[in-house]
Structure 1
Amino acid sequence: MELTDNYQNLSSIYQELSIKKGQLAKIDKKELEKSTFEKTDTVVLGAEKYDENDYQRVLNKFKNKDSEIRTHEQTHASSAATTSAINYNYQIGPDGKLYAMGGSVRFDTSIPNDPQSAKIKLEQLKDASSSVSSMSGADSSIAQTANLNKMLLESLKQGFNYEN
C-alpha cells in the first residue's frame, strides 16, 4: 500500500513538471518571436540626408576588403600544410550581408625529426607566410621564426655547439 502511494506521488510530481515545461516552452517561443521581430526591424534614413553615391562607396569598400581578405588567407592556406580551416572575422555591411574584415589560418608548425624534412617544411612555412603582397604582423613573425629555425638547423648540421 505504501509503495503504491509513493508511485502516485512521483506520478503527480512528473505531471507538474510536464506542465511547467510546457509553460516555459511557450515563454521561450514568445521570446524568440520577439527577438526575430527586432532583427527584421529596419531603419529608414531621411531622404534629404541619404546619398546613393555614399552608400555605393561604402558598400564597395566592404566588398573590396572582403575579396582582399579571402584572397590573402587562401594564398596562405594553399602554400603550406594547415591544421584548421580558414577562420574569418565578419562585419555586417550596409546591405545587411556579412563581409570578411579579417581572417586567420593555422599552419602546421610541427618540425619533423629528419633534418632535411625539417628544412623543407621550414622553407614552406616561410614561403607561405610571406607569399602575400601585404604581410600582417603575424605573417612577418611566422616568416622570421621559420627562417631563424632553418638557420639553427643548418648551424647544428655544421657542428656548432651552443651548450657553453
Structure 2
Amino acid sequence: MEITDNYLNISSIYQELSLKKSQLSNIDKKENEKSTFEKNDLVTLGEKNYDENDYQRVLNKFKNKDNEVRTHEQTHASGATTTSAINYNYQVGPDGKLYAMGGSVRFDTSIPENSQSAKVKLEQLKKASSSVSSLSGADASIAQTANLNKMLLESLKQGFTYEN
C-alpha cells in the first residue's frame, strides 16, 4: 500500500511540474513573439521615467549650443567671401530634433594679383576668421595666415626680396 501511495504522490508531483513547464513555455513563447521595439523601447505615457528638470536642463543645453554654433558660423560667413554654404555637424537632442554641435565655413582664400586687392581681401579674411568671441584653432590659424600674407605683401611692396 505504501508503494502505491508514494507512486501516486510522485506521479502527481510530476504532473504538476509538467503543467508549470507548459505554462512557462507559453509565457516564453509570448515574450519571443514581441518585437525588440516592444521589449526595449516601450514608452508608457502614464509613468515618468525621467526627472522633468533634468530633461529641460539637457534640452536647454542642446538649444544653447545650437544657437551658439549657428551664430558663430554665420558671423564668419558674413565677414568674407565663402566658397560653399555653412556646413553643420548635428546631434539628436532628447526631444528627437537635430541640433548643430559644430560647424565650418570655407573661405575663398585665393589671392588676387593686384596687391591692393590682395591686401583688402587678406584683411577681410583676418577679420572674418577672428570676428567671433571664442576662436577655434582653425579660426586662429586662418587669421594668423592672413596676417602673415598681408605682411609679406607689404614687405614686397616696399622692395624687400626673399631668396632661398
TM above 0.5: yes
Write the mapping of 1:53-72 to structure 2, written as runs, cut at 5 A: 53-72=53-72
Separation of aligned partners in 1, 2:42 and 2:95: 12
Q: 1:157 aligns to what?
A: 157
> RMSD in angstroms over aligned alpha carbons?
2.1
Distance 1:43 1:126, change over 3 A: farther
5 Å-filtered alignment, 1:35-74, equals 42=41, 44=43, 47=47, 50-74=50-74
Q: What are the residue-to-residue correspondences of 1:3-152 with 2, within 5 Å?
A: 42=41, 44=43, 47=47, 50-152=50-152
Distance (Å, rounded) in 1 between the aligned partners of 2:163 and 2:138: 31
| Distance in 1 separating the partners of 2:161 and 2:153 | 12
SS of the residue 2:77 aligns to:
helix
> Using the alignment, how far apart are the partners of 2:107 and 2:48 within structure 1?
51
Partner of 2:121, secondary structure, is helix
Q: How big is the shift at 1:50?
A: 1.4
Runs of 4+ in 1 over 2 A off after TM superposition: 41-45
Tell me how many residue pairs correspond in the alignment: 126
Deviations 1:33-83 (A, max 9, x none): xxxxx7xx94538x5751000000000000000000000000000110000
Q: Give 5+ residue unaligned stretches, structure 1.
A: 1-37
Secondary structure at the aligned position of 1:95 is classed as coil
Structure 1 letter corresponding to 2:163 = E
Find the aligned partners of 1:104 and 1:120 in 2 and give their Cα distance: 23
Question: 2:69, 2:41 → 1: CA distance?
Answer: 29
Query: What are the superposed Cα offsets for residues 73-97 of structure 1, whole Å, 9 maximum, x if unpaired?
Result: 0000011000000000000000000
Tell me, in whole angstroms, the C-alpha distance in 2 between the residues paired with 1:152 and 1:48. Answer: 64
The structure-2 alpha-carbon separation of the partners of 1:43 and 1:130, relative to structure 1 and needing over 3 Å to count, comes to farther
TM-score, normalising length: structure 2:
0.72
The one-character-per-residue Cα deviations of 1:109-141 (angstroms, maximum 9, x if unpaired) are 000000000000000000000000001000000
For the residue of structure 1 that corresponds to 2:163, the secondary structure is coil
Q: Which amino acid in 2 is paired with 1:141?
A: S
- Distance across 2 between alignment mates of 1:120 and 1:101: 32
Q: Which has the larger radius of gyration?
A: 2
Give 3-state SS (helix, strand or coil) of 2:70's partner: helix
Structure 1 stretch displaced more, 48-57 or 105-114 = 48-57
